[in-house]
Amino acid sequence: MKIKDIMSTNVANISPTASTKEAAHMMHDLHIGVLPVIHDNKLIGMITDRDICCKVIATGRGAGWTKVEEVMTKNVTTCFDDQDVTAASNLMISNHVRRLAVIDHNDTMVGLLSVDDLARNSHDLACCVLEASTQQH
């Protein structure tokens, strides 16, 4: 099974210069917890609801004036859409993440793959990812 067979497509994204307040609004309206950050059609980062909680609100910054690029994760773990799903599971395990950005061989982002997507395909693969997780609860 290939990653492209089970990934989420039509993923919303945000610009690096947008405010984290705008990001929060988008996450709220779209019922999602993560947004890929795209600049010049290239993936340059990811921002999550937890980033906004821990890096903006906990530190006393204002969401209205803090830009997405200031708190996003820049080292995004990616995989290719034509890789096997077991490769995706291994990447999540070794990088302690639950989501991967999926790119094609032109370096364009084409989707997102979450541990939930893996679970719909294989409980074993998904649970290996959960077991390797570092968050307490």
Partner 1 sequence: MTMKVQEIMSTKVETIKPTSSLRATARALSNLNVGALPVVDDGKLVGIITDRDISVYAIAIGRDPQSTDVQKVMSKEVFTCNENQDIYEAAEIMKLHNIRRLAVLDDAESISGIISIDDLAHVSRELAGTILAHSQAIH
Looking at the Cβ atoms of 54 and 107, the one nearer to partner 1 is: 54
Element (H, E) at 12: none
Would you count residue 101 as binding partner 1 (CB under 8 A)?
A: no
Burial 47-83 (b: 16+ CB within 10 A, else e): bbeebbeebbeeeeeebeebebbebbeeebbebbbeb
From the list 14, 19, 54, 50, the residue with the least C-alpha distance to 30 is 14
Would you count residue 87 as binding partner 1 (CB under 8 A)?
A: no
Looking at the Cβ atoms of 49 and 70, the one nearer to partner 1 is: 49
Would you count residue 119 as binding partner 1 (CB under 8 A)?
A: yes
The stretch among 37-45, 77-85, 87-95, 128-136 that binds partner 1 (CB under 8 A) is 128-136
C-beta separation of 38 from 13 below 8 A: yes
Q: Which residue has the tokens 């999550």?
A: 48
Reduced to 3 states (helix: H, G, I; strand: E, B; else coil), residue 64 is coil
Instruction: Rule CB under 8 A: choose which of 17, 39, 54, 74 binds partner 1.
Output: 54
Would you count residue 86 as binding partner 1 (CB under 8 A)?
A: no
Six-digit token string for 106: 């032109």
| Residue 110 CB, nearest approach to partner 1 (Å) | 13
Residues of this chain that interact with partner 1 (CB under 8 A) are: 8, 11, 20-21, 24-25, 27-34, 49-54, 56-58, 60, 63, 99, 112, 114-120, 122-124, 126-127, 130-131, 133-137
